[in-house]
Structure formats: C-alpha cells, structure tokens
Structure 1
Amino acid sequence: MRWLFFITFLMLFHSTMGSEDLIQLSCKKAAAGDPNLSFNFCVSSLEASPRSHGADLEQLVAITLNLTISNATSINSTISRLLVDKRFDKYAKECLQDCLELYSDSVPTLQEAIGAFQAKDYDKANIEVSSAMDASTTCEDGFKEKRGEVYPLKKENHNFCQLNAISLAFINTLSGT
C-alpha cells in the first residue's frame, strides 16, 4: 500500500514539475523573441493562475487570453473612476473617455481571439490579439499629444501589452511561425 502511495506521489510531483517547466520554457522562448516582453512577468502571471498548473501550451494561451480580458475589464473600471476625478482637466478626461472606448472594444476583440484560437485559426487569433493590443498604444498616444500631460495608466497599460505579447508569442509557437 505504501508503494502505491509513493508511486502516486511521484506521478503528481512529476506532472506539477512538468507544467512549471513548460511555463518557464514557454516564457523563456517568448521573451527571447520579443525584447519588450518580460520573462519574469510572463512566469509570474501564469504561475499565479491555478489553472496553469498541469496545463499544456494551448491551455496556457487560453489562460493568458482570459487574463488579458480580466485586465482590460479592470482598466475600464479604473478609467471610470478617473473620469469623475476632479484632478483631470477637460483634455485628460477626453483622452480617458477615448481610452475607455478602446479598452471596452478590446474585450469582445479578445473574445473573438479565443474563438478563433479554439477553432485553430491561429492567423485570425493573432490578428485579433494584435488589434486589442493597439488599444494601449492608441490610448497612451492620446495623452502624448498635449505637452506635459501625465498618462495615469502607465502600469496598467504595460501589463495589458505584456499579456497580449505573451498570447501572441504562444500562438505563434503553436502555429509554427
């Protein structure tokens, strides 16, 4: 009986190590292919998700896409709070309103990416993720148009870009490109 317990323990231990190895290896490859992608961010984002333990690469893509949707939803909440903040002038509020629309649009775009990915249409998934990723750049660019304007979503924007970059790298690995 102890022998059976020991074998079961070894199998569970090995499968856990395998998923963490996959996360490490996948993130290492992704970061090597994109100088803007942080290996540490990739690993910590995936390891923080309980669903990633024991996941294969396809499941990791789905996890990162869902993390990105959650991130966009959180950014929308932050923007909604900032829109009522009296610290921001009319120009900043107009930029924030544009950002709210961009990030709101990114949620269904990322949901389309999930559908395309599940259908193994990696090209369409790639296009949808890239399109969603543009929200962060466009949002930030709006603030840069006025000299001295402070962009209040820098960290959130960076995380959104990182999550999209992870998804793109993993999708490209699966598609062989």
Structure 2
Amino acid sequence: MRIRSSSSFGIPLIISLLFISTLSSYCLTPTASNLIRTTCKKITDGSPNLSYDFCVNSLQAAPNSHSAKDLRQLGDISFVLLRRNLTDSRSYIEQLLKHKKMETPMRIRVQGCVQIYSLAIFSAEEAFQHYNAKRYRDANTHVSAASTYVTTCEDGFSEIPGLVSPLTDINNVTSQLCDISNSIVTMFFD
C-alpha cells in the first residue's frame, strides 16, 4: 500500500537521500553499484508500491553500501536503514506531541503512532536477528509486521472524516524501506 500526502516531512528526507546517494555513488565500487541496481530492479519489478529510484537512492545512501559484495550484505544494509528510519520517525512523532495547538483527535492518533512505531522497531529488530540466523521466513514475518504497524498508524487518521495525517510522507518512506528489506529477505527463501 503506497501512502500519499502533501506533508512536507518526506520531501527533505528524500532530498537528503538523493544528495547523499549522489555523493556516495562516486564512492561505490562497480560491484556494489551493480548489485544495488540489479537488486532494486528485481524488487521493483514485483512491487507496484516501490519506486526503483527510491530503492537505489536509499541503498546507495547507506554508509556501508560502497562495500556490499553480495545480496546478504545488502540485506544487512537494508535492515540498518529500516531500523534507523523507524527510530528517527518515532523521535519525530514524539516531537509532534510537543506542539501545543494539536487538537485532541489528532493528538490521540499521534500518541498511538508513537506506540505503534515502538512495536515496529521491535519487529524490525526481531526480523534482523532472524535474518542473521538465516531464518528467512521468520524474518519475513517480522518485517511484514513492521510494515503492518506503519499502515495501522496511517489508517488511524482516516477514522475521523476530514482529519489529515501529518505522518503520511514518513509512513510512505518507512513502508518502502520495509518493502526493500522484505523483498531482499524473500530472495533467500528455499
């Protein structure tokens, strides 16, 4: 599910990813660059909700992507990105709660998203542990749970007609990062 909004949070994040990926692409080895592009092509061919450019830019922006030699290492990188994004997103959501002009229905849903993102972080950490132990189906289950939590956060705002989610862009980015990790995990299924 691709989540859309006019919220401005995702734009600076995406611009940052593009800038970092441009810089990091100069440092990528041909092998790492080809691995990222090939993997993202496979992932996005099977996913209408994931952008090829987002996939490439996200993975290239990761600090260790220049040294990725195989799909396994690229999976590690995708989990680092996902966990960092979930943690940063939860921190951002917590900051929203400090906004004094927030109406009660909005505040309740934003508070719920803090809790939901905490669960998503736990699920992503569990998924990474399973991935490291080569229990790929268990990793898949936990990444899918993290993705479901993100969707639940976004869906909470639609319960009240006219209430616009301030988190749509964040949730969209996080959802795509979940898709990247999950797609890499499924490539290891027997």
TM-score (norm 2): 0.82
Aligned residue pairs total: 162
Cα drift, residue 86 of structure 1: 2.3
Q: Structure 2: how far apart are the matches of 1:87 and 1:36?
A: 34
Matching residue of 1:35: 48
CA RMSD of aligned residues (A): 1.2
Q: CA shift at 1:29, angstroms?
A: 0.5
* Structure 2: unaligned runs, 5 residues or longer: 1-27
Whole-angstrom CA distance in 2 between matches of 1:115 and 1:140: 27
Out of 87, 92, 108, the position equivalent to 2:101 is: 87
- With a CA cutoff of 8 Å and minimum separation of 6, indicate the structure with the bigger relative contact order: 2
How much does 1:133 deviate?
0.7
Residue 170 of structure 2 corresponds to residue 139 of structure 1:
no
Residues 46-76 of structure 1 show CA distances to partners (whole Å, capped at 9, x for unaligned) of: 1111311131111111111111111111111
Q: Name whichever structure is richer in helix by fraction.
A: 1
Gaps of 5+ in 1: 1-14
After TM superposition, the structure 1 = structure 2 runs for residues 87-106 of structure 1, keeping only pairs within 5 Å, are 87-106=101-120
- Normalised by the length of structure 1, the TM-score is 0.88
Match of 2:180?
166
Equivalent position SS for 2:161 = coil
Give the conservation status (yes or no) of the 8 Å contact 2:120–2:150.
no
3-state SS of 1:75 partner:
helix
Q: Percent identity?
A: 40
Alignment partner of 1:49 out of 56, 59, 62: 62
Q: Which residue of 1 aligns with 2:34?
A: 21
Aligned to 1:10: none
Aligned-residue offset at 1:37? 0.6
* Larger Rg over CA atoms: 1
